[in-house]
Amino acid sequence: MTEAGRQMHALVERLHPLCRSITGDGVRATLKIVDEYVPLTVHEVPTGTQVLDWTVPQEWNIRDAYVADSTGRRVVDFAASSLHVLGYSVPVARTMPLSELREHLHTLPDHPGWVPYRTSYYKPEWGFCLSQDTLDALPDGDYEVRIDSTLADGHLTYAEHVVPGLVADEVIVSCHVCHPSLANDNLAGIAVATFLARELAERNPYYTYRFIYAPGTIGAITWLARNAERIDQVKHGLVLACAGDSGQLTYKQSRRGDAEIDRVLRHVLTVSERPHRIAGFTPYGYDERQYCSPGFDLGVGSLSRTPYAGYPEYHTSADNPDFVLPEAMADTLAVCREAFGVLDRNRRYQNLSPYGEPQLGRRGLYDALGGRSDTKDAQMAMLWVLNLSDGDHSLLDIAERSGLPFDAVAVAADALHGAGLLKA
């Protein structure tokens, strides 16, 4: 287990008990913890604010909730898990027979030991989620039902962390912070994004990297509405979700399908020989569908391991910290590191000696390769870079066409540039 993997898993465990939703104190508590790892700028957007075609909803907060039997024993208890309450439940304090209560109970008959995750954001409703086993064990009779919640004008909360680059052009990295006690969806994505931000800050990147921690759908829409005038600065982007399960990596392409981020992830995953899948864009999933909506059409893809709804534990109590693997999060982080390394170094060059092949030996370029285990690849990379550096081909173009790793091509370009044979 890598140290980064261990620390990311510890962050997931720390965040797991908090009751998050699309608004409320659970989001603020989550962002306060993340702020201990990377400094955040927190934004509060008032209820009623128009954001594109949506309106910021009322803020929801909850203090306690339970179903108690005739002896006062809590048979369903919010204190045991935030999943036990239907998200955005309106307050209720009643006593009712089990036959009536059943209309407000949600279970998973196919997985009788698990508790489902359910919400009712935009329709006033109340309810509880519990295991089918628990429901089957409840005798007929009256039950005390209490949900101590508030739904009132307040704010939608999201946060940003910016890693300054050499240029103002931005890469956005987005993760959602609205799910309650679900470790892979969404806490693993939060953890990978946070540790990626820390690494980038030590690297003096070329691009400026903007990390967005926002509630799903309404949060991304709010961010887009508030940043519409500067959206042209966003050159690339990646949504992180389901980042810690044992499945193979999955990259979902942007709406464009040939955006630079799409090509970079395809190249990195292919060259690394990791088991992976490249999926085409669909207008369903996580917040890539907001960034890729036709009015914005940003080059934003999505990186996950097993995609949303692709594993039985998805949106259930089985998506707990034990389901998330430190090694898997470390691997997801490594792919992000490699991909952004390619983005940051992808340039176009002009061959300053384009008539015939320049003599590399007298410039010491061949001698510098002596003894390397990849001498042949390094020599071929130099030849490919010289041949395709016509001002039109990027280093990624050259890597794709040559079949060589991007890193070999970039190192060759650096050497040739240093020898005066290329100009940027």
Pair type for strands 41-46 and 155-163 = antiparallel
E strands within 241-299?
249-252, 276-279
Task: Check the annotation: does 417 bind a ligand.
Answer: no
326, 3 contact by CB (below 8 A): no
Distance in angstroms (rounded) separating the CA atoms of residues 144 and 98 = 10
Token pair for 253: 């392409």
Task: Characterize 129-143 residue by residue with b for buried, 16 or more Cβ atoms within 10 angstroms of its Cβ, and e for exposed.
Answer: bbbbebbeebeeeeb
E strands within 91-201?
92-97, 105-106, 128-129, 142-152, 155-163, 170-176
Give the bridge partners for 121, in sequence order. Answer: none
Burial (CB count within 10 angstroms: exposed 0-12, middle 13-18, buried 19+), residue 381: buried
DSSP letters along 179-198, please? Answer: -SS-IIIIIIHHHHHHHHHH
Distance in angstroms (rounded) separating the CA atoms of residues 214 and 40 = 12
Token pair for 347: 């340039």
Task: Check the annotation: does 179 bind a ligand.
Answer: yes
Pair type for strands 234-240 and 170-176 = parallel
Token pair for 119: 């919400």
Task: Check the annotation: does 185 bind a ligand.
Answer: yes
Distance in angstroms (rounded) separating the CA atoms of residues 374 and 112 = 55
Which helix (H) or strand (E) covers residue 265, if one does?
helix 260-272
- Give the residue ranges of the annotated binding site: 179, 185, 315
- Give the residue ranges of the annotated binding site for Zn(2+): 179, 185, 315
